[in-house]
Amino acid sequence: MNRRAAARAMLQPHRRYNPLVDDWLLVSPERTSRPWLGRQEAAPPEDLPTYEPYCYLCPGNVRANGETNPMYESTFVFTNDFAALRPDSPHLSIDNGLLRAESERGECLVICFSPRHDLSIARMSAAQARPVVDLWADQSAALGERFRWVQVFENRGVAMGASNPHPHGQIWAGDAVPREGEKEDASQKRYYEANGRPLLLDYAAQESGGPREVDGDDDWLAVVPFWAAWPFETLLIPRRPVARVPDLDQAQRDSLAERLTTLLRGYDALFSLPFPYSMGWHQAPFDGGDKPYWQLHAHFYPPLLQATVRKFMVGYELLSEPQRDVTAEDAADRLRAAIRSASPKAAVPSD
């Protein structure tokens, strides 16, 4: 099939393969024209104060466990008061036919990006975002000395379950490599053994300058993946071999801060509102082994299909396979335009 015929065919229902997790998804572009009478998402507030006396993440305020935050001036890290993983979990081992369970030891951290209650990464300058990058790297390195998997992530907005609007993220570290990590590890290893090159570096080279690239520089590529499941999902990939966040050199960290703020301002400009999303870094397991096949990358999963309509992963998605309502190419085109429109905006001063 020639390129023009393939482009026409991709405007009709079809399936796309995700080599990173060895899975498929359904693409149904015509569904965006259906009438919508379901839930409408409320626009998040844009006029947050710089300090909120009742916020448990603001400097000097008391948290739920009774501890008082320091008067921090940049970033701040503390152990989650309601941690999902604990370093002292008691031993558990059950293996009874189809009934299996095992203990999981770990640690959960909360990381505040800024002392300002209103300063999201999307509103930061690159210089303001750089300490966040260093925080991800430093905490990943420290946790990686004790745990195999270190998951850095951020949930932004009530639509993605954020319990507090203060700009913050989390890091969960555990002994086990979880499901998504196992799938990506297996796929990347299999591809490397067959081709002698990292899967995501080959993918970045293939997508560079193409219809799904939304932003980039000499160090990073931001792309709406060919296999994206969420409407405006993006993948951020270093252009050179890097296995983990701590492995990024100073130049890569500087350019990462630029790419983060540019991409997230583009998201906010897409529907002229603070865009909700879940994002996270996938880095090689910290098990001491040599993993030349692993390429560091960040996933961004924004749920909105329209300004007040979110994409729900329900029904067919839960019972069969992921399904999306807009092609990756269309999403990338709209996100590129939003990034261009947002680029002249000045960042908010930090003081």
Going edge to edge, which strands form the sheet with 14-18? 14-18, 23-27, 323-324
Cβ contacts of residue 318 below 8 Å, gap of 6+? none
Active site residue 91: no
CA of residue 149 relative to chain centroid, distance: 16
Q: Which amino acid is at 299?
A: H
| C-beta neighbour count of 196 within 10 angstroms | 9
Q: Which of 142, 141, 151 is nearest to 176 (CA)?
A: 151
Please tell me whether residue 234 adopts helix, strand or coil conformation: strand
State the Cα–Cα distance between residues 265 and 342, nearest whole angstrom. 6
From 117, 166, 168, 297, the catalytic residue: 168
DSSP string, 150-177: EEEEEEESGGGT-S--SSEEEEEEESS-
Check: CB of residue 246 under 8 Å from CB of residue 141.
Answer: yes
Check: CB of residue 155 under 8 Å from CB of residue 162.
Answer: yes
Q: Which of 144, 136, 138, 129 is nearest to 171 (CA)?
A: 136
* Burial per residue of 69-105, b for 16 or more beta-carbon CB atoms within 10 angstroms, e otherwise: beeeeebbebebeeeebeeeeeeeeeeeeeeeeeeeb
| Residue with tokens 């020639």, as numbered in its chain | 2
For the chain, report the end-to-end CA distance as a whole number of angstroms.
Answer: 57
Tell me the H-state helices in the chain. 3-9, 126-144, 179-195, 199-207, 250-270, 316-319, 328-342
Active site residues per annotation: 168
